[in-house]
Structure 1
Amino acid sequence: MRTSLFARLALLLMAMLAAIPVQAEAKSDDAITMLVMDPLALPLSCPCVAGYAQRKYEVLGEYLSKELGRPVEVVFAESVKNALDKESVDDIHIIIGKDSVVTAQGKKHDFDVSRLARLVGKDGKTTQTGLIVVRSADPAQKLSDLNGYRILFGPSECDEKFAAARALLEEAGVDLPPEKDAEISYACSDGACMIIDWGDKIRGAAVISSYAAPLLEGCGTIKKGDLRVIGETEEVPFVAAFATKSLDKDEQKKLQKALYAAAQSPGMLVALETMLGFVPEDFKPAPTKPVIKAAGKTPAAAAKPKPSTDESKKAANVTPTTRAWPGWLGPERNGHVEWLPSSLPETANIVWRQSFLRPGMGGLAATDRHVFVGDRDAANRADVFRCLDASTGEELWSITQLTIGQLDYDNLPRATPLIYKDWVFFFGAFGDLICADIETGKVVWKANVRLKFLALDKLPWGTCSSPLVVDDMIIVNPGAPTAAIAALDAATGEVRWKTPGGPQGYGSFIAATFGGVRQIIGHTQNMLCGWEASTGRELWSVKPRTDGDFNVPTPVVVGDKLLIATENNGGRLYEFNNDGTINPEHVAVNTKLNPQMSTPIAIGDRIFCVNRRLECFDVAKGLQSAWSARDRTFCEYGAAIASDDRLLVQGRGGELVLVDTKDEEPRILSRLSFAPDKDSAAAELFTFPALVGTRLYVRFEKEIVCVDLGA
């Protein structure tokens, strides 16, 4: 049968195509190969334990591709040799794996690896340990009982299963064979199964990695209770990221910077099952328990508070010996206390220190039994409101509230908690208001006031105002068109009243009586306003002459007048009419009283304020400047607590400065420094301390410290 012309042409075309060599998909010339040897990576482990050993490094690869401007190809292998045996791998630029293993294999294959960062685990550590295990029925109870046992070590390149384990056993007096004769079990599962199979026939022990322990039971390799741990090695480094000499120094620096920054993405923290992401080599984790130091003696009792009907005093939870610091600016919401020491101790009498993972911005509330603080979780996806034991600093309970979004200056709560009756109220930066039982932490009610009242405007700094209690109502400022300010029932969270107005301001409100009218005073975004306390009806408003104030400082009651101080309009003193409305024309002004954040403190006819210096103004002389004191401890923000004749200022690095407020010239009576380290001593703190009795609770960037000022 004759082949048609069409068929012959088709055959010719097929032959020509067949002659063209078929090439595999080419790898980009500038691609970076990232070898992952982390035993907790999903392809190298198993999904037997929910949320553990399922690290998704592909997410890191995509992120690094964007940050480095080069494609990053992720390769998974248990060793460098196995990776190099892959056809797709002709070079390795990044290696992520167990520190000792990568170091050993880097030398073996002449990769000249440079450690760039360590990966923090879910436990907040960058380390692991080796566990010495025996069968549960084995008679050995301590390490020294293992003399004469067959001990299965891990490979010599696994420090936790070899070098650290041998050091531990030798210290316990166990006779071991020379390193070259040590019996090796390459996988933790193999060693565990072997000693179980030996039963009573062979006395044996195995060394397994601490990270592998949950997987042995989770995957069914062993049954729960089959093994018993009788020893644990010292901590050794766990997973780290290395660069090889295939990346030049500049590329390595860029890579290191990108690794450190990866933690800013909550999704990355979840993908890599990490608390803090990649950190520098010298990273020191927060201790799992607080560092407790004995106080030495019982603190002296504070002066018994005078009775009062003011709402802020009702919140103060008075006891026979101490008065609580119930919220923002203390018992009177004006920074005043009955007692301050005549001088500060020569050396700090530290009662306790409690470490935190993230720098704090919100103040503290405290009783003689509890300390309340707003915090964030390690992934920065949720607020964590904590209650600490006032005597020891240990956490008693916590409440976690999931939040969504990203704010300037981190996402931590800005507001100071509020103690009222048997409840504590927390207010997160995303608008979550939570009422909880003081003793148990059980949530009584909660509401997101931004969502509840449909406040849809952008809020770059978040909700900053500390809640205020008035007549069994919690006053907050949602900043919604229908609810610039709102009152919620303290017991139930039900809306008692709400008032339309402008967007949210950043300062906290006060309750005060002017012209015989009880009112709430504070800022919206652009206006100073007064609202009737019982109904929320707006009584008056004042627009400043100059726009652009952030309106952070809290209004201050000075006798029968109101002091307002902001960065662009300075300090202004206002009088009120008999009907409770404000006279919009101030009676005194001083543009030098212009803090951006610090709230002024009034003592008699004097106003004190920290704004890169400590300044004093005379109310009787129309806010005239009385004196100004320069000192390196005075920053842009400074918290201050006042008695009748003294002022305690929290300065740079938490340094305390006690000032005489009666003198005609600035006079520092004493000072006290107790920052935990050099970096902390240089840091500017944006938190407000709490004073209960003689104990002052100070929030540093990474810890809360209780110091006794009466010792």
Structure 2
Amino acid sequence: MGHCRIPTVAWAMLAALFAAAPLRAPADDAKSAEGPISMLVMDPLALPLSCPCVAGYAQRKYEVLGDYLSKELGRPVEITFAESIKNALDKEHVDDIHLIIGKDSVVRAQSKKHKYEPSLLARLVGKDGNVNQTGLIVVRSADPAKTLSELNGYRILFGPPECDEKFSAARELLEEAGVDVPAEKEAEIAYACSDGACMIIDWGDKIHGAAVISSYAAPLLEGCGTIKKGDLRVIGETKPVPFVAAFATNSLDKEEQKKVQDALLKAGKAPRMLAALETMLGFVPEDFKPIVPAKPVIKAAEKPTATQPSSGEAKTSADVRSPTIRAWPGWLGPERNGRVEWLPDSLPAKLDIVWSRPFLRPGMGGLAATDRHVFVGDRDAANRADVFRCLDATNGEERWSITQPALGQLDYDNLPRATPLIYQDKVLFFGAFGDLVCAEMETGRVAWRMNVRLRFLALDKLPWGTCSSPLLVNDMVVVNPGAPRASIAAVDAATGETRWQTPGEPQGYGSLIAATLGGVRQIVGHTQSTLCGWNAETGVRLWSLKPRTDGDFNVPTPIVIGDKLLVATENNGGRLYRFREGGEIEPEQVAVNTKLNPQMSTPIAVGRRVFCVNRRLDCFDAADDLKNVWTARDRAFCEFGAAIATDSRVLVQGRGGELVLIDVSGPEPAIVSRSLLTTDKVAADAELLTFPALVGSRLFLRNETAVVCIELGG
């Protein structure tokens, strides 16, 4: 099986049955004169080669593809499931192989041994919009190694040489980190991810060991019970390498190869195909650019220079990463800085609305989402309780909801202000009256709940309620109760138990971040009147800074630009700070611009440029004293405007949900396209206070009347 252990004898018998007998797709006898096409499936996520341990994952049903190809080509397609070409050819019913679907590097290596000449026809896109995979360097959770450079002297278990992600890419990554890697012929090999993972766990403290596993296998190891949750820790990730692809062998002539290729590229439009193959788009050409490129390679930390601001250090919420889950996990996205890996080159004149789910009230909090779920905070019809909802990302139907009684009356209605937070297989919701609820993503079963203001005895009155979105730091959820003995506090993400609390001021209305500044990992954000930094592990306050002018609401989130911190508020403007070694802030700002003065919008950094919506869209140069270098005035830009960005594009959610796309790749930014969400005059004039979520090419946003799913991929 190659990546996990099957938990039951029954499933093992079923898998053997699938592998032993070919699945013959039905075909019209009149069209079968040319004989059957033999298709070998070596995809490790195919159902007969995997196990049904993780809902909706690694259960690809290739018989649906076989049926489709048979009808498209006018020839029967016989499917054989096997882990190798040799195993397939050893079966009595297999005389030859015409098509192979499997891991790119494995198919190429094995084809060479068997004198096949594989021709790449298409690549299969995953549910995350990606065609690549990576290798993960893992150690036991209790192992002292924190970085790759500490693995010198360790026994490192690589995957087979034919698996690029577990061998060549892993060796390259380790060599870059300065690890002495054995010669290729001397490398120690674990042929299955499960073998490598179990071996280093079994070694315990006796042997310092690390293993290389495939990113696609990570959820299966825990899901199938091969290892326990938390047994392993990822300390490195390789560069992306191609994952599953379809090849034709030289047993199929060129004309037939072209017919198969054309059929594969159209397969994504066939009914049931996307669900059957667990894919976002189906098969795509070799030059396909992933909608969500693979996550960046984890390397030794590189310190940006003061003259080259970048968004590299702005990866503020990545303390706990899941290399297999592509999602919008919470406030400001995957790295809590509004940065994304993909935006379209232009917007369609008419938006492609996949679905729309109506709601009774206009929203205030942001959305969190995966390719299967959309999480949103709402209120009941009587406005006496929070209702935390999970919608199906494919059709908008409600999968489950949790009702949390929350009585009171706040300014601007009582809806939750905070964005939900995804953590592993759970999601956390935070209501405006202080109720924090942790639930299982799939079922909605509540794992734990508490009211943070009651637990930590916060007695001050909040006219706008609790607004700060929870922050994930390692395995802790950090909130800001604003209590005398718990200005901020951390609770265990799995249990809700208090890990630490720090005395200080009442709470601010903005969200916290976690970042490495001055060489120290710290939590940064506002209390009621003060900007502070706290040690990320212990909560001990490292520094505090009062602005020159009182009265800021402190709603915008601070952002990191290179090795500096940018803070922007309505009364004190934009201020750029540097840090001393040891993590303490230098009180005198490096640069200041009073025009960068949003009351609600959080600025977003694209290299040295800073973009912010505040009744207009402004661009400031962080490397030139925050100089205002460009301004766009447009009816779409309100007091609050949610913005997300890549290195070349900024997408703004404007008035009424209108989308405005800005090209920022040139010397001067320029609005390149825009799309209206609605033509209804009342709805089109509404100033939205929500933040959207982007997963793959789908944008989920909440307007005055509904949560809407928009396809941006065209």
Separation in 2, partners of 1:342, 1:594: 30
Correspondence list, 1:511-550, <5 A: 511-550=514-553
Aligned to 2:168: none
Aligned to 2:292: 302
Would the aligned equivalents of 1:511 and 1:518 in 2 still touch at CA under 8 Å?
yes
Residue 317 of structure 2 aligns to a residue in which SS?
helix
Separation in 2, partners of 1:318, 1:676: 40
Among 317, 327, 340, the residue aligned to 1:312: 317
Q: Which amino acid aligns with 1:698?
A: L
Q: Which has the larger displacement, 601-610 or 303-312?
A: 303-312
Aligned to 2:660: 657
Residue 318 of structure 2 aligns to a residue in which SS?
helix
Separation in 1, partners of 2:321, 2:393: 16
Separation in 1, partners of 2:579, 2:570: 23
Would the aligned equivalents of 1:375 and 1:413 in 2 still touch at CA under 8 Å?
yes
Residue 680 of structure 1 aligns to a residue in which SS?
helix
Separation in 2, partners of 1:345, 1:603: 24
Separation in 2, partners of 1:708, 1:386: 22
1:441 maps onto 2:441 in alignment: no
- Cα pair distance change 1:486/1:411, threshold 3 Å: same
Post-superposition offset of 1:295 = 13
Q: Which amino acid aligns with 1:401?
A: Q
TM-score by length of 2: 0.57
Q: Which amino acid aligns with 2:652?
A: V
Aligned to 2:643: 640
1:566 maps onto 2:562 in alignment: no
- What does the per-residue CA deviation read over 1:425-451, in whole Å, with 9 as the maximum and x for residues that have no partner? 000000000110000000000110001
Separation in 2, partners of 1:511, 1:325: 17
- What does the per-residue CA deviation read over 1:615-641, in whole Å, with 9 as the maximum and x for residues that have no partner? 000111110110111011011100000
Q: Which amino acid aligns with 1:659?
A: I
Post-superposition offset of 1:318 = 4.7
Separation in 2, partners of 1:513, 1:311: 8
Separation in 2, partners of 1:464, 1:579: 31
- Cα pair distance change 1:420/1:634, threshold 3 Å: same
Aligned to 1:118: none
Separation in 2, partners of 1:423, 1:684: 31
Post-superposition offset of 1:661 = 1.4
Separation in 1, partners of 2:273, 2:396: 16
Separation in 2, partners of 1:557, 1:351: 35
Would the aligned equivalents of 1:415 and 1:466 in 2 still touch at CA under 8 Å?
yes
Separation in 2, partners of 1:657, 1:416: 22
Aligned to 1:25: none
Separation in 2, partners of 1:635, 1:510: 25
Separation in 2, partners of 1:585, 1:457: 31
Post-superposition offset of 1:355 = 0.3
Aligned to 2:10: none
Would the aligned equivalents of 1:295 and 1:708 in 2 still touch at CA under 8 Å?
no
Aligned to 1:450: 453
Separation in 2, partners of 1:504, 1:545: 19
Q: Which amino acid aligns with 2:551?
A: G
Q: Which amino acid aligns with 2:546?
A: K
Would the aligned equivalents of 2:316 and 2:513 in 1 still touch at CA under 8 Å?
no
- Cα pair distance change 1:372/1:295, threshold 3 Å: farther
Among 368, 372, 375, the residue aligned to 1:372: 375
Post-superposition offset of 1:471 = 1.2
Q: Which amino acid aligns with 1:487?
A: A
1:404 maps onto 2:407 in alignment: yes
- What does the per-residue CA deviation read over 1:12-70, in whole Å, with 9 as the maximum and x for residues that have no partner? xxxxxxxxxxxxxxxxxxxxxxxxxxxxxxxxxxxxxxxxxxxxxxxxxxxxxxxxxxx
Separation in 2, partners of 1:360, 1:667: 30
Separation in 2, partners of 1:448, 1:409: 21
Aligned to 1:481: 484
Separation in 1, partners of 2:390, 2:679: 22
Stretches (4+) displaced over 4 A = 294-300, 307-311, 314-318
Post-superposition offset of 1:306 = 1.8
- Cα pair distance change 1:527/1:635, threshold 3 Å: same
Among 491, 496, 501, the residue aligned to 1:498: 501
- What does the per-residue CA deviation read over 1:471-503, in whole Å, with 9 as the maximum and x for residues that have no partner? 100000000000000000001101000000000
Among 571, 575, 580, the residue aligned to 1:577: 580
Q: Which runs of 5+ in 2 are unaligned?
A: 1-270, 275-279, 282-289, 300-314
Would the aligned equivalents of 1:613 and 1:634 in 2 still touch at CA under 8 Å?
yes
Correspondence list, 1:44-193, <5 A: none
Aligned to 1:62: none
Q: Which amino acid aligns with 1:306?
A: P
Post-superposition offset of 1:676 = 6.3
Separation in 1, partners of 2:363, 2:320: 24
Aligned to 1:115: none
Post-superposition offset of 1:657 = 0.6
Would the aligned equivalents of 2:481 and 2:507 in 1 still touch at CA under 8 Å?
yes
Would the aligned equivalents of 2:333 and 2:339 in 1 still touch at CA under 8 Å?
yes
Separation in 2, partners of 1:446, 1:570: 38
Aligned to 1:616: 619
- Cα pair distance change 1:385/1:626, threshold 3 Å: same
Post-superposition offset of 1:304 = 2.0
TM-score by length of 1: 0.57
Post-superposition offset of 1:677 = 2.4
Post-superposition offset of 1:316 = 5.7
Aligned to 1:323: 326
Post-superposition offset of 1:345 = 1.6
Would the aligned equivalents of 2:438 and 2:447 in 1 still touch at CA under 8 Å?
yes
Q: Name the % identity.
A: 70
Post-superposition offset of 1:308 = 4.6
Q: Which amino acid aligns with 1:386?
A: R
- Cα pair distance change 1:499/1:535, threshold 3 Å: same
Q: Which amino acid aligns with 2:296?
A: K
Aligned to 1:588: 591
Q: Which runs of 5+ in 1 are unaligned?
A: 1-293
Residue 312 of structure 1 aligns to a residue in which SS?
coil
Aligned to 1:101: none
Q: Which amino acid aligns with 1:447?
A: M
Q: Which amino acid aligns with 2:640?
A: Y
Aligned to 2:685: 682
Post-superposition offset of 1:470 = 0.3
Residue 463 of structure 1 aligns to a residue in which SS?
coil
Post-superposition offset of 1:662 = 2.9
Among 465, 469, 472, the residue aligned to 1:466: 469
1:432 maps onto 2:420 in alignment: no
Aligned to 1:358: 361
Among 688, 698, 703, the residue aligned to 1:700: 703
Q: Which amino acid aligns with 1:643?
A: T
Post-superposition offset of 1:307 = 4.3
Residue 450 of structure 1 aligns to a residue in which SS?
helix
1:557 maps onto 2:556 in alignment: no
CA RMSD of aligned residues (A): 1.8
Aligned to 2:148: none
Separation in 1, partners of 2:377, 2:440: 15
Residue 387 of structure 1 aligns to a residue in which SS?
strand
Residue 576 of structure 2 aligns to a residue in which SS?
strand
Separation in 1, partners of 2:679, 2:480: 36
Separation in 1, partners of 2:323, 2:521: 24
Q: Which amino acid aligns with 1:305?
A: K
Q: Which amino acid aligns with 2:708?
A: V
Post-superposition offset of 1:317 = 4.6
Among 421, 425, 441, the residue aligned to 1:422: 425
- What does the per-residue CA deviation read over 1:407-429, in whole Å, with 9 as the maximum and x for residues that have no partner? 00000000000001011000000
Post-superposition offset of 1:663 = 3.1
